[in-house]
């Protein structure tokens, strides 16, 4: 049995009746990384939030979303709480929105841990400190005392990854976590996801429009356009022999940009040396 099973997921706007995602199905095994790609407005974020039932009020959904055989769509809000964070952890694309701006980052982290375990305060601080050190935050105590606006986007992303390390969820949902970061920080954050997957064995749903990042991290790729899954397959198959015209367009566009970059940099040896 797959760890995460999504069957005939349908998402629509309850007010207008507009169907946003008509019928999506996919599966995810333990330790596997599934990337969801597509242009803005293709339904990637809606799909991810639907897995945890976190879409804004008015957005409706039907279908089956099962974690370890438990259908989450039939649970009450109270019954869903233990699954959010401990069993399924979401890392947002904008770290600033994930934290309460009126409180230090550490207060949010400690509260999240207290809701999902029976650790003592000293155990929570020790666990967070070790995890933050492991993702390159060299002074965890100082970071936890700061407010979100005092930290960079990269530091906030690393902080959310550190929380996931402590929680050790079954599934990590990363919704375009590198979008707001500079190129160097993007690379470092992606490498942290690769290390996180190896360290705790979580399955990862990784949403991105950056095919270079997807090729680095994903086992399977799911391509969405206008809310519809137009193609799905192994990473090598998608990049080496996509069958759908839209997928081929995405891949060719990425390769064209890379070729132009190498040309401007003076060739592969100089650009990658």
pLDDT tens profile 36-69: 999 888 999 999 999 999 998 899 999 999 999 9
- By the 10 Å C-beta count (0-12 exposed, 13-18 middle, 19+ buried), 148 is classed as buried
- For 181, the enclosing helix (H) or strand (E) is none
- Residue 76 above 60 pLDDT? yes
Q: Three-state SS for 1?
A: coil
Q: How far, in Å, CA of 124 to CA of 120, rounded?
A: 6
Query: CA angle, 107 as apex, 103 and 108 as ends, to 5°?
Result: 85
Q: What is the mean pLDDT of residues 229-246?
A: 92
Highest mean predicted confidence (pLDDT) among 46-50, 193-197, 267-271: 46-50
pLDDT given for residue 189 in this prediction: 79
> Dihedral of the CA atoms 67, 72, 75, 79 (nearest 10)?
50
Confidence of residue 190 (pLDDT cuts 50, 70, 90): confident
pLDDT above 80: residue 95:
no
Calculate mean pLDDT across residues 218-229.
Answer: 95
Distance of CA 260 to the CA centre of its chain: 29
- Could you tell me what percent of the chain has a pLDDT over 90? 49
Tell whether the model's pLDDT for residue 256 goes beyond 60. no
CA distances (Å), 113 to each of 77, 128, 166, 168, in order?
A: 19, 9, 8, 11
Q: Can you tell me the mean pLDDT for 262-272? A: 52
Q: What pLDDT score does 93 carry?
A: 74
* Residue 118 CA neighbour count, 13 Å, CB half: 0
Which range has the worst mean pLDDT, 61-75, 165-179, 242-256?
242-256
Residue 273's pLDDT is 47
pLDDT, average across residues 95-116: 88
Tell whether the model's pLDDT for residue 269 goes beyond 60: no
Q: What average pLDDT does this structure show over 236-248?
A: 90
Q: How far apart are CA 22 and CA 10, in angstroms?
A: 5
- For residue 269, what are its two tokens? 């040896």
pLDDT band, very low/low/confident/very high, at 180 (cuts 50, 70, 90) = low
What is the structure's pLDDT at 118? 85
pLDDT value of residue 263: 54
CA torsion sign, 5 to 49 to 83 to 96? positive
Q: Which residue in 93, 97, 87, 101 sits closest to 53, CA to CA?
A: 87
pLDDT of residue 216: 87
Q: Who contacts 241 (Cβ-Cβ below 8 Å, separation ≥6)?
A: none
Cross-sheet strand order for the sheet of 203-207: 88-91, 171-175, 203-207, 33-37, 220-225, 228-234
Question: Is pLDDT above 50 for 139?
Answer: yes
Nearest to 6 by CA among 40, 39, 29, 37: 29
Query: According to the model, what pLDDT value does residue 210 have?
Result: 82
pTM above 0.75, yes or no: yes
Q: Where are the domains of the chain?
A: 92-169
3-state secondary structure of 117: coil
CA–CA distance, 46 with 23 (Å, rounded to integer): 13
């Amino acid at each position: 049995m797959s760890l995460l099973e999504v069957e005939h997921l349908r998402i629509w706007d309850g007010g207008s009746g507009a169907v946003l995602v008509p019928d999506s199905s996919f599966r995810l095994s333990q330790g596997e990384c599934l990337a969801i790609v597509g242009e803005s407005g293709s339904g990637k974020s809606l799909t991810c939030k639907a897995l945890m039932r976190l879409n804004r009020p008015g957005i409706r959904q039907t279908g089956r979303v099962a974690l370890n055989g438990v259908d989450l769509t039939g649970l009450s809000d109270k019954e869903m709480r233990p699954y959010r964070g401990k069993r399924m952890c979401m890392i947002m694309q904008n770290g600033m929105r994930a934290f309460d701006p009126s409180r230090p980052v550490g207060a949010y982290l400690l509260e999240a841990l207290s809701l999902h375990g029976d650790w003592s305060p000293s155990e929570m601080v020790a666990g967070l400190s070790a995890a933050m050190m492991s993702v390159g935050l060299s002074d965890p105590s100082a970071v936890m005392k700061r407010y979100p606006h005092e930290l960079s986007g990269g530091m906030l992303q690393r902080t959310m990854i550190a929380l996931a390390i402590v929680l050790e969820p079954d599934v990590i949902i990363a919704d375009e976590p590198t979008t707001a970061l500079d190129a160097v920080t993007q690379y470092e954050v992606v490498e942290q996801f690769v290390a996180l997957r190896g360290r705790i064995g979580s399955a990862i749903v990784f949403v991105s429009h950056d095919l270079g990042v997807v090729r680095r991290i994903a086992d399977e790729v799911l391509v969405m356009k206008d809310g519809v899954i137009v193609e799905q397959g192994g990473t090598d198959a998608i990049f080496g022999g996509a069958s759908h015209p839209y997928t081929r367009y995405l891949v060719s566009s990425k390769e064209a940009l890379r070729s132009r970059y190498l040309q401007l940099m003076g060739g592969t040896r100089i650009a990658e040396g």
